[in-house]
Structure 1
Amino acid sequence: MSFSTALSIAASGMRSQASRITHVSENIANADTPGYRRKLVSFEPDRAPDATPGSVTTGRVRLDQTPLPQVYDPSHPLADEAGHYSGSNVDMVVEIADARQAQRSYEANLRVFDQIRQMSSSLSDLLRR
């Protein structure tokens, strides 16, 4: 595997995890929004014609189809005649765990990227001698 291939794979991992972090932060920001459905991001192999084999990309963003909780608050403007409205299906514990996992995966790809860059630089220095 060449340095450029390894760099490309690590960069695709960082891009994908950054996208995941974006969607997790949107979920957290909308946790109290009535009727909001949690966004889910999946990863898949990058099938673009010029893609490096082994690189990943994010798939389509899907909405979590878990039933929305019914919140009882007769004073809420969206409440029906029984005093209920649809809440959000965002679970903060799950979102925080997803954010930590995405952050750690991003950092791991960053370390790989940095290690490859250092190896490339060291090889260049050796070849100059």
Structure 2
Amino acid sequence: MGDLNLSLGLSASGMEAQATRLRHISENIANADTPGYRRKVIGFSTDHETRQVVPGPVQLDNRELRSVFDPGNPLADESGHFQGSNVDLVIEIADAREAQRGYEANLRIFDQARQMAQGLFDLLRR
């Protein structure tokens, strides 16, 4: 039974980590047009004691900010340019799809472990 509980915990931690990643991706998409916004990225690590997935610290993407030409914008310099964000919507959508698939894979593992535990309980009741 301990292995089933471990499986449930590991898959739940994976789902939580992917949900955290999706929250940051959503924030990046929402701020794609915000001047000076830097894309946020998050990595994962493993807690060596519990073997669960843990989201790492949020880091800002160091890529250059996009230069936008809009002379009428109050943020524009003498040449009519201002710094936009470094969010690329294609990358964000691809990352969101990857996080969604990771979440779904952990959900399937969680469901399989739950079904196995239920089967074990059914056998013990007989």
Indicate the TM-score class for this superposition, using the shorter chain for normalisation.
Answer: over 0.9
1:19 is matched with 20
Please, which runs of 5 or more residues in structure 1 have no aligned partner? none
Q: By how many angstroms is 1:69 displaced? A: 1.2
TM-score (norm 1): 0.93
Distance 1:77 1:110 in 2: 48
- Give the Cα–Cα distance (whole angstroms) in 2 for the partners of residues 17 and 115 of structure 1: 19
Partner residue of 1:97 out of 76, 94, 97: 94
Amino acid aligned to 2:106: N
> Which residue in 2 is equivalent to 1:107?
104
Runs of 4+ in structure 1 displaced over 2 angstroms?
none
Greater percentage in strand:
2
**Identity value in percent:** 61
Residues in 2 aligned to 1:30 and 1:69: alpha-carbon distance in whole angstroms: 13
Query: How much has 1:46 moved relative to structure 2?
Result: 2.2
Q: Which amino acid aligns with 2:7?
A: A
Once the two structures are TM-superposed, the CA of residue 72 in structure 1 deviates from its matched residue by: 1.1
TM-score normalised per structure 2: 0.95
CA RMSD of aligned residues (A): 1.1
Instruction: Give the length in aligned residue pairs.
Output: 125
